[in-house]
Chain A
Amino acid sequence: MSISNLLENWSQFRHTHPVEDKPHDPYKWAMSIDLDACSGCNACSVACYAENNLPVVGKEKYANGQVMHWIRIEHYWDEDVGEEGGREFPDQGAQFLPMMCQQCEAAPCETVCPVGATNHTPDGLNSQIYNRCIGSRYCSANCPYKVRYFNWYDYPSTENIWPAEMTQQLNPDVTVRGKGVMEKCTFCVQRLAAAKVTAKSEGRIVQDGEVQTACQQACPTSAISFGNLVDPESRVHKQWRAQQVELDKDKQAKDEKEGGTELRGYRILEDMRPYPSVMYLERVRESAI
């Protein structure tokens, strides 16, 4: 992507979807995560390791911040707990939040890649082209969610990451990334591709429930839903609509009303206008106890 091309066609590259002249069709992959159901058990993360050939980096590299978990569970505690003058105990529990690439429609990471290694696909994914990536890590610096992971080492040849026996577990549908490459959650693009091919060969589009991401499939409380936002029959579409969350808005119905609403759906850091494709549903806590 030359700089002149980039400048000339800027509005096209910055297209936020869906808009009237260029709607997503027939797919726009999106997710919704119910934080009231999420128990923080980490099954999603382990499933992702299994599906996407993520290396286990070990204690030392973990300490250096080089862990590769594409989906992680973030923890939030009430701010006054354990502080001077605050509450002594976190007596309303913790808040868990699975965080992965939000597949932003106007992704801050995409515009800064000097080589166009990360860009948007027609079905609404923020894709990463490994063999185009030169490892500038600018995308990671620009990601507000901090969900891009860099291969500081050549993990396949690093001792004890994948000993000979364990290489046999690697998923052949997913590349094993080499040193110097940025990677991140793909919404299990290998599964999406396979489902799309099957559907196309049968002359239809992928139906809701036909394809699951690895994290969604494992989740013991079914907190994660995933599907085609354009498909009015999909659960994700229904959830987004019920929560009145719209993809191309930076302020939702929920934000307009003063003093609380029955709506729980929100997107993280929405006011920065990355237009993320993941909607979260607020955790609920009982008022009577």
Chain B
Amino acid sequence: MMDSGFDRRDFLKVMGWSGAAVALSGCGNTSIEDGKETVVSYVEAADFVIPGIGVYYNSSCAQCDAGCSINGKVREGRVLKLEGNPASGINNGKMCGLGQAGVQHHYNPDRVREPLLRNGNQGEAISWEKAYALIAEKLDGVSGEEIAFLSGGVSGHLKVLLGNYLSSFGCKNHFVYEALSPGVVRAANKKAYGVEMPRYNINKAKVVLSFGADFLGAWVSPVHFSQQYAQFRNGADGQRGVLIQVEPKMTLTGANADRWVPIRPGTEGILALGIINALGTATGDIAAAVKNYDKVRVSKETGVPPGQIDKIAAILKLRSPSLVLAGGAAEGYAHGSQNAAAINLLNHVLGNVGKTIVAPVTVPFPQMAPAKGNTAALKSLNDGLAAGNFKVLFNYAANPVYTAPGAMKFKDNMAKAEFKVAFTHYLDETALQADLVLPLDSALEDWGTQVPEYMTEGAQINILQPLMENLHPNTRGMGEILLALIKQRRPEEYKNYEDYYAYLRAALVQNKNAFGGHSMDDDTFWNETLTKGIIKLAGTTTALNGGTNVSSLKLPTPAEQDEQFPLQLIPSVNISLRDGRNSNQPWLQESPDPLTTIVWDSWMEIHPKKAAELGIVEGDIVEVTSRVGSIKTQAYLFPGIHPDAISIPIGQGHEAMGRYAKGYGVNPFKIIDTVFDRETGELAMHETRVKVSKTGQRVIIVKDESAAGAKQVREKIAGRVSTDNVDLSKEV
């Protein structure tokens, strides 16, 4: 047993009462009756609790938006470990590292435990009654237009309740913001396929050509795609799938490719048109649109050798169906929509639409469908705040003070709102600017429903249920809070719901016929639903109906060399830290970056050739300067990056958020130029030009890779064979 602050009474509660009378006497307790109310005998154990035996409860992972289902191991009332729920079509019992770390979100020592009201620079603990009364008071006399609600992606009943709350005072200003969202790709997909997010059958493709979509790492639904990838590698009918990854900075997916093609940043669309040209199968408008994109020109503009373009075209022609993906690295430009459109066009030309790109299913309850976040929402909110349009600002599941580009001056603009409320788990950068901080239950303590954006063959509604009692008595679930707030506005409508649990139960039981519970009584249906943790639905299928309109396709020729800012900044997405909301989970901080193996810090990736030009060696502290500002970090020489680009990962550089996040590394959002995609208004994350200079300091980089690097006897340790020699489909 550890000698940390383990409470003695809890200890007794866990160990049972036997022999405790002896143990207690002379331990400072004056009577055996002391604390009897906190001692519960296992003679009257709660349901399913058997000391020493783990019980598993199904729930859903809330670490990212992919919507994996989890199976939590609970022992003696404590949640210990999260496994994947094998019944989910999304993760089929598998889990990523980020999901595993969900318990560290729950047990995080830096969670907010009391409602806090700003008093100067301090937060003063207040009661929930006072907090709710304060919100009612501040909303009094404020019109709906003067209220803004900022949130991350929300779905399910929480979204319904939130919508009802906002409409109760006529507020239409719900800004849904995700710092890392495939916003441009969604819009391009809508045009090309008629839906924002079709279903991708990676496992049915023989060739996957990915333009910077890190589907094994951090793109859309990585655990699901990873499983498809394993099937793709084994080959559907005996032929192993081939992965070609085109991107200026190697991602985890790029590191797993059969051929990784470094491309000049921003020219992905040009290469896509060049491949269509090389295929030579297009006709009509498309053929006309690509006729000028011959190998010589494309090679000159993209930096991809002509021979490589031929090889890609040849293998795409030979092996069908294939799948072409547009991801983060292709969409992050002012012409991001054009890039994505050109890449999607390739799927039409190759005949993949309907084969590897198929119609998605949606839940038949549109009000529960996910409100998908994007970055355009942040801009409109920021503009509104800057103009002083909003008196009251609510913030839930977003941290814009940390993730907004520095040039937006979000923090200053936020201060213009008179009353700012943050619903939060931690005192992050945004919560620190709030006037009222309301502490939330962790995702392992809360009730809820989720509708994932990306689903598989069948539609599903994920159930969140508490895996244990509240760790801290004074936190509340977001649903619980919204219900309390909406009762202030519409007491009559909601008076039958004692709490969010009652609301959720009523809402689901009411529709039990639609959820496959015709033959069950309410209790059976409800228990069944909680036991499974997933409601599977037939769902409705939206047919693909997009077109191949090429008339608006215009790709800019790459800009000339910029003397002042010669390098392109790629803010890369780390598989564990993503947008930085999970950076305070120590397992993730100590989980090495898959490519550089660096831990607990930021770094700048630079190609060894460029580094030699600039006289930079590994560990040099460099200053990276953009038009907006500069940050200093350690240099890491990495051959998996285009020599015209440097890369700094997102997720570090927190100025708040607790002991495991604050003060580690730097935040590249601070120096990002505020350039937006011309069609969608999404933030163009890769449009920042920078220069790099040495500061003269040097450190030893903390990483898992040994001093000898990875160059020791690879042949003997990590074997590699060519496809000529093996037939995976015949293996066990």
Contact = CB atoms under 8 A, between A and B. Distances in A.
Interface stretch (B31-39, B424-432, B558-566, B702-710): B702-710
Interface string A268-283: 1100000000001111
A174 to B, nearest CB: 10
A217 B73 CA distance: 14
Contacts of B587: 46, 49-50, 56
A175 to B, nearest CB: 11
A283 B250 CA distance: 19
A281 B720 CA distance: 9
B96 A41 contact: yes
A192 B592 CA distance: 28
A74 to B, nearest CB: 7
Contact of A286 (B81, B83, B259, B705): B259
A60 B167 CA distance: 51
Interface in A157-173: 157, 160, 162-172
Given A51-B81, A62-B590, A220-B226, A262 B725 contact: yes
A43 B97 contact: yes
Contacts of B711: 77, 79
Contacts of A149: none
A223 interface: yes
Given A75-B710, A78-B714, A284 B722 contact: yes
A97 interface: yes
A239 interface: yes
A238 B242 contact: no
Interface in B190-226: 216-217, 222-223, 226
Interface stretch (B179-187, B270-278, B540-548, B594-602): B594-602
B646 to A, nearest CB: 15
Contacts of A58: 586, 590, 600
Nearest to B108: A165
B8 interface: no
Contacts of B4: 156-157, 162-164, 167
B82 interface: yes
B256 A264 contact: no
B617 interface: no
Interface stretch (A82-90, A179-187, A200-208): A82-90
Interface in B717-732: 717-728, 731-732
Interface string A42-59: 110111011100001111
B242 A286 contact: yes
B714 A59 contact: no
A74 B590 CA distance: 15
Interface in B1-57: 2-6, 52
A95 B81 contact: no
Contact of A46 (B100, B240, B704): B100
Contacts of A223: 230
Interface string A227-261: 00000000100110010000000000000000011
B728 A36 contact: yes
Contact of A93 (B260, B609, B664): B260
A269 to B, nearest CB: 7
A89 B80 contact: no
B400 interface: no
Given A41-B216, A63-B700, A266 B719 contact: yes
Contacts of A63: 700, 702
B407 to A, nearest CB: 30
A34 B75 CA distance: 33
Given A95-B714, A283-B720, A221 B597 contact: no
Contacts of B312: 289
Interface string B65-96: 00000000001101111111000000101111
Interface in B654-675: 659-660, 664
B244 interface: yes
A35 interface: yes
Contacts of A217: 83-84, 93, 95
Nearest to B102: A50
Given A77-B639, A81-B639, A285-B721, A62 B599 contact: yes
A88 B608 CA distance: 9
Interface in B565-621: 575-576, 586-592, 594-595, 597, 599-601, 607-609
B188 interface: no
Interface residues of B, number: 106
B252 A40 contact: yes
Nearest to B720: A283
A219 interface: yes
Given A47-B95, A286-B240, A67 B2 contact: no
A43 B595 contact: no
A282 B599 CA distance: 28
A88 B262 CA distance: 10
A8 interface: no
Nearest to A87: B639
A239 B728 CA distance: 12
B514 interface: no
Given A167-B6, A260-B725, A76 B714 contact: yes
Contact of B721 (A67, A162, A222, A260): A260
Contacts of A94: 250, 255-256, 595, 640, 710
A109 interface: no
A92 B256 CA distance: 8
A9 interface: no
A32 to B, nearest CB: 9
Contact of B659 (A37, A79, A160, A264): A160
B590 A91 contact: no
B227 interface: yes
A89 B96 CA distance: 28
A218 B222 contact: no
Contact of A59 (B240, B601, B607): B601
Nearest to A99: B717
A211 to B, nearest CB: 13
Contact of B78 (A169, A282, A283): A169
A164 to B, nearest CB: 4
A176 interface: yes
Nearest to A38: B256
Given A43-B96, A284-B726, A163 B259 contact: no
A226 interface: no
A41 B252 contact: yes
A196 interface: no
Contacts of A219: 94
Contacts of B95: 43, 47, 217-218, 220
Nearest to A65: B706
Contacts of B721: 260, 264, 282-285
A45 B710 CA distance: 19
Q: Considering residues A62, A157, A266, which has the most beta carbons from chain B within 10 angstroms of its beta carbon?
A: A62
Nearest 8 A/B pairs, CB to CB: A46-B97, A282-B719, A220-B226, A82-B639, A286-B258, A59-B600, A164-B5, A163-B109
7 contacts: A46-B587, A59-B600, A82-B607, A168-B78, A282-B720, A283-B720, A286-B723
Interface of A: 35-37, 39-43, 45-47, 49-51, 56-59, 62-63, 67, 69, 72-79, 81-82, 88-97, 156-157, 160, 162-172, 176, 214, 217-223, 235, 238-239, 242, 260-262, 264, 266, 268-269, 280-289
